Amino acid sequence: MQEVIQDAPIIIEPEAEVNSAVIWLHGLGADGNDFAGLVPQLNLPEQHGIRFVFPHAPVQSVTINGGMKMRSWYDIRSTDFMNDVDAAGIRVSCYQIYDLIQAQLAQGIAANKIVLAGFSQGGLIALHAGLSFSHGLAGIMALSTYCPMPQQFHQHRDISIFMAHGKFDNVIPFSVAQASCSALQKRGYPIQWHSYPMEHQVCAQEIEDIVNWLTTVI
C-alpha cells in the first residue's frame, strides 16, 4: 500500500506565456529534482511556452529492494517485469497523474498541448496514464522503460509516443523494452523508437532527439 506523501511538484515556468505543459516522472528511488535540472540542457527556443511539472512519487516499501521504503510509483516484486506486475499500485499512481493533468486543464492548457514524460518506473506510469486518460494528450515520452498489460489500452491510437532505451541497460533489459514497443505497435499505437549505446541513463543524442520530438508535438 502506498503511503501517499503530498509533496508539491517542482514547477518550472517559462518566461513567455504558458501554452503547453510537460509532466515528467522520475524513476525508482529518485524524486522530482532528478530531471528538473535537465530543462536548461534542452536548449528550447527562448520564447517557448512550456510549463514543466516534476512530481514526486509516494514513499512505499519496494519488495525487490528488501522492503526498503523509497519513492516509488508502484511496487516491484521481481525482475519478471512483464508478468509479476503491481497492477493496483500502477492504478493508484495513474490517478495521481490524472489529477496533475486536470490541474493543467483547469489552468487553461488544452489536453492536446500536454505531454506525459517519464524515466524507468516513471515511463511506465506515463504510458499507462497517458493511454488511459479520458482525453487524448499531445504525446507520451517513455524513456528506459517497459509496458506490461498492453491489452488494456483501447483508445488514443493517434497519440505520438517517443520510446527510447539503452542497448546495454542493466536494469530493464533492452529485449523487454523492445517487446513492450512491439506490443503497443500491434495494438495500433505509432511508436517513434530510439535506441542508444548506453546503460540505464540518458545521453546527449537522446536529449537532442527529445527536443526535436517535443517541439514537433507541442
Catalytic one of 34, 75, 86, 169: 169
- Grid coordinates representing 39 are 530543462
DSSP letter at 64 equals G
Say how many C-beta atoms besides its own lie within 10 A of residue 125's C-beta: 25
For residue 183, give Cα distances in angstroms to 118, 146, 147, 149, 152.
19, 10, 8, 9, 11
Is 93 among the residues known to form the active site?
A: no
Question: Is 194 an active-site residue?
Answer: no
- Looking at 79-197, list the stretches that DSSP marks H as alpha helix, in order from N- to C-terminal side: 87-106, 121-132, 174-186
Catalytic option among 72, 120, 160, 180: 120
Return the C-alpha cell found at 36: 528538473
Grid cell in block for residue 113: 498541448
- Measured in degrees and rounded to the nearest 5, phi and psi for residue 147 equal -145, 90
Q: Is 120 a catalytic residue?
A: yes
Active site positions, annotated? 120, 169, 200
